[in-house]
Protein backbone atom coordinates (compact mmCIF):
# COMPACT_ATOMS: atom_id res chain seq x y z
CA UNK A 1 0.00 0.00 0.00
CA UNK A 2 1.21 3.50 -0.77
CA UNK A 3 2.14 6.15 1.73
CA UNK A 4 -0.27 8.93 0.79
CA UNK A 5 -3.60 8.88 2.54
CA UNK A 6 -5.76 9.28 -0.55
CA UNK A 7 -4.20 6.19 -2.10
CA UNK A 8 -4.72 4.26 1.12
CA UNK A 9 -8.34 5.35 1.19
CA UNK A 10 -9.03 4.36 -2.40
CA UNK A 11 -7.26 1.03 -1.90
CA UNK A 12 -9.37 0.35 1.19
CA UNK A 13 -12.54 1.16 -0.73
CA UNK A 14 -11.57 -1.08 -3.65
CA UNK A 15 -13.05 -4.15 -2.02
CA UNK A 16 -16.77 -4.96 -1.92
CA UNK A 17 -16.54 -6.67 1.47
CA UNK A 18 -14.95 -3.60 2.99
CA UNK A 19 -17.53 -1.30 1.40
CA UNK A 20 -20.28 -3.53 2.77
CA UNK A 21 -18.72 -3.26 6.22
CA UNK A 22 -18.73 0.53 5.92
CA UNK A 23 -22.36 0.45 4.80
CA UNK A 24 -23.22 -1.61 7.85
CA UNK A 25 -21.31 0.79 10.09
CA UNK A 26 -23.15 3.76 8.63
CA UNK A 27 -26.14 2.44 10.59
CA UNK A 28 -24.20 2.43 13.84
CA UNK A 29 -21.33 0.85 15.72
CA UNK A 30 -20.91 -2.91 15.56
CA UNK A 31 -18.64 -5.57 16.98
CA UNK A 32 -16.32 -7.65 14.81
CA UNK A 33 -18.54 -10.72 14.91
CA UNK A 34 -21.62 -8.66 14.12
CA UNK A 35 -19.79 -7.26 11.12
CA UNK A 36 -18.65 -10.74 10.09
CA UNK A 37 -22.11 -12.28 10.30
CA UNK A 38 -23.37 -11.46 6.75
CA UNK A 39 -20.27 -12.92 5.12
CA UNK A 40 -19.16 -16.45 4.43
CA UNK A 41 -15.61 -15.35 5.20
CA UNK A 42 -13.64 -16.54 8.22
CA UNK A 43 -13.32 -14.24 11.20
CA UNK A 44 -9.59 -13.63 10.71
CA UNK A 45 -10.45 -12.63 7.17
CA UNK A 46 -12.82 -9.99 8.46
CA UNK A 47 -10.27 -8.96 11.04
CA UNK A 48 -7.80 -8.28 8.25
CA UNK A 49 -10.33 -6.19 6.36
CA UNK A 50 -10.98 -4.18 9.50
CA UNK A 51 -7.27 -3.60 9.89
CA UNK A 52 -7.12 -2.21 6.37
CA UNK A 53 -10.10 0.06 7.04
CA UNK A 54 -8.60 1.19 10.34
CA UNK A 55 -5.19 2.00 8.92
CA UNK A 56 -6.92 4.01 6.21
CA UNK A 57 -8.71 5.91 8.98
CA UNK A 58 -12.10 4.79 7.74
CA UNK A 59 -13.01 3.18 11.04
CA UNK A 60 -11.92 3.50 14.65
CA UNK A 61 -12.11 0.85 17.32
CA UNK A 62 -12.90 1.17 20.98
CA UNK A 63 -13.23 -1.46 23.63
CA UNK A 64 -16.18 -2.77 25.56
CA UNK A 65 -15.43 -5.90 27.62
CA UNK A 66 -14.33 -8.56 25.12
CA UNK A 67 -15.91 -6.73 22.23
CA UNK A 68 -14.11 -4.24 20.03
CA UNK A 69 -16.85 -2.08 18.59
CA UNK A 70 -16.06 -0.44 15.26
CA UNK A 71 -17.20 3.00 14.27
CA UNK A 72 -17.26 4.67 10.89
CA UNK A 73 -14.95 7.66 10.48
CA UNK A 74 -15.78 10.07 7.71
CA UNK A 75 -12.62 12.13 7.33
CA UNK A 76 -11.18 10.00 4.51
CA UNK A 77 -14.53 10.05 2.74
CA UNK A 78 -14.54 13.81 2.93
CA UNK A 79 -11.08 13.78 1.39
CA UNK A 80 -12.36 11.62 -1.46
CA UNK A 81 -15.30 13.98 -1.96
CA UNK A 82 -12.87 16.88 -2.03
CA UNK A 83 -10.71 15.17 -4.61
CA UNK A 84 -13.76 14.40 -6.73
CA UNK A 85 -14.85 18.03 -6.72
CA UNK A 86 -11.95 18.82 -9.02
CA UNK A 87 -13.66 16.72 -11.67
CA UNK A 88 -17.34 17.43 -11.05
CA UNK A 89 -17.48 20.35 -13.47
CA UNK A 90 -16.30 17.97 -16.15
CA UNK A 91 -19.26 15.63 -16.04
CA UNK A 92 -21.76 18.32 -15.28
CA UNK A 93 -20.49 20.22 -18.28
CA UNK A 94 -20.97 17.10 -20.33
CA UNK A 95 -24.50 16.77 -19.00
CA UNK A 96 -25.21 20.31 -20.15
CA UNK A 97 -24.09 19.39 -23.64
CA UNK A 98 -26.19 16.23 -23.57
CA UNK A 99 -29.21 18.27 -22.60
CA UNK A 100 -28.53 20.69 -25.41
CA UNK A 101 -28.26 17.78 -27.80
CA UNK A 102 -31.49 16.21 -26.58
CA UNK A 103 -33.23 19.51 -27.00
CA UNK A 104 -32.02 19.74 -30.58
CA UNK A 105 -33.17 16.22 -31.43
CA UNK A 106 -36.37 16.32 -29.37
CA UNK A 107 -39.37 15.44 -31.61
CA UNK A 108 -41.47 18.04 -29.84
CA UNK A 109 -38.86 20.67 -30.50
CA UNK A 110 -38.74 19.69 -34.17
CA UNK A 111 -42.42 20.38 -34.60
CA UNK A 112 -41.75 24.10 -34.30
Partner DNA sequence: CCATTATTTAACCAATAAGCTAATTAACTG
Partner DNA sequence: CAGTTAATTAGCTTATTGGTTAAATAATGG
Question: How distant is the alpha carbon of residue 72 from its chain centre?
Answer: 11
Residue 62 or 74 having the CB closest to DNA? 62
Calpha distance 68→54 (Å, rounded):
12
> Which of the ranges 32-40, 74-82, 92-100, 101-109 carries the binding residues for DNA, by CB under 7 A?
32-40
Partner from DNA, a second copy, none contacting 59, C-beta within 5 to 8 A by type: none
Partner from a second copy, DNA, none contacting 86, C-beta within 5 to 8 A by type: a second copy
Residue 17 or 77 having the CB closest to DNA? 17
The residues in 42-101 that bind DNA, with binding defined as CB under 7 A, are 42-52, 61, 63, 65-69
Whether the Cβ atoms of residue 31 and residue 69 lie closer than 8 Å to each other:
yes
Alpha carbon separation from 76 to 8, 59, 64 (Å, rounded): 9, 10, 25
Applying CB under 7 A, does 23 fall inside the site for DNA?
no
Residue 77 main-chain phi, psi, to 5 deg: -70, -40
Residue 16 or 107 having the CB closest to a second copy? 16
Calpha distance 2→5 (Å, rounded):
8
Amino acid sequence: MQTDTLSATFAALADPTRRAILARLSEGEASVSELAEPFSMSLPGISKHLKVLESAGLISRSRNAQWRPCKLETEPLKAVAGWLEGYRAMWEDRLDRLEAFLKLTDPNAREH
